[in-house]
Amino acid sequence: MRYSQYQAYAAQFPGKEVIDGVLYDTVQYPQAGALRLTFFNALRATIDLSNMRAAGQLPYPEEFCIRAIRFYVKAFPESTATAAAASVQLDAVNVISQMVNTGVLQLNIGQKDYGIYPLSNLPAGGGPFGVIVVNNVLIAGAACSFANNGYPHIRNTFTLAKPITIPSQMNFNVTITWAALAPVIRATNVTVALEGDLIRAIQ
């Protein structure tokens, strides 16, 4: 392959470089449920919650080209009482079902909407999947469950047919809305991740 052909895959351009990147932000879904959560609008306390360096915008001269969107529930396995036959099992699977089946995600850049997506279209991709383990049915016991949004495979993601770029220093946020409150067993962190290309100044 000639050098000129390698240049088609160059990561650096005059004054800028382009690398794979992800912007993510985490908000707590309250135990009583929520009608609306807003992401990327504030700085979080630790790096596991968010990697935003400024609230609601990218610092100059950074830009970000969104190629895929993920929705991830940071749940943990928990033990709950086993529900009677034909009753709703109040466990992690139920929590995921309520959040995903009734939620809608909306991306806003510079006071303009760039997509409205049902959460059922936005799988988590990587991460744990769901199982329920129940004690001997002849014994009064409990069910231990864990679940997440979609099968845990890195390719299990919602990819945009047309990428969307967030310009430098332009306000943006992501909101998730629900038509009704969906109470959960306990408050649970949820994360929105935007995957794509980070465009920044050459270091």
Domain parsing of the chain, residue ranges = 17-74+104-125+152-201
75-133 pLDDT, tens digit each: 777 667 776 766 666 666 777 788 888 899 999 999 899 989 999 888 887 766 667 66
d(CA 99, CA 105): 11
pLDDT value at 137 more than 60: no
- According to the model, what pLDDT value does residue 101 have? 86
pLDDT value at 40 more than 80: yes
Share of the chain above pLDDT 90, in %: 43
Mean pLDDT over each residue of the chain, to the nearest integer: 83
- According to the model, what pLDDT value does residue 194 have? 96
The CATH classification number of 17-74+104-125+152-201 equals: 2.60.120
Confidence band, pLDDT 50/70/90 cuts, at residue 33: confident
Q: Which long-range contacts (CB under 8 A, 24 or more apart) does 52-59 make?
A: 52/23, 52/25, 56/171, 56/172, 56/173, 57/168, 57/169, 57/170, 57/171, 57/172, 58/166, 58/167, 58/168, 58/169, 58/170, 59/168, 59/169
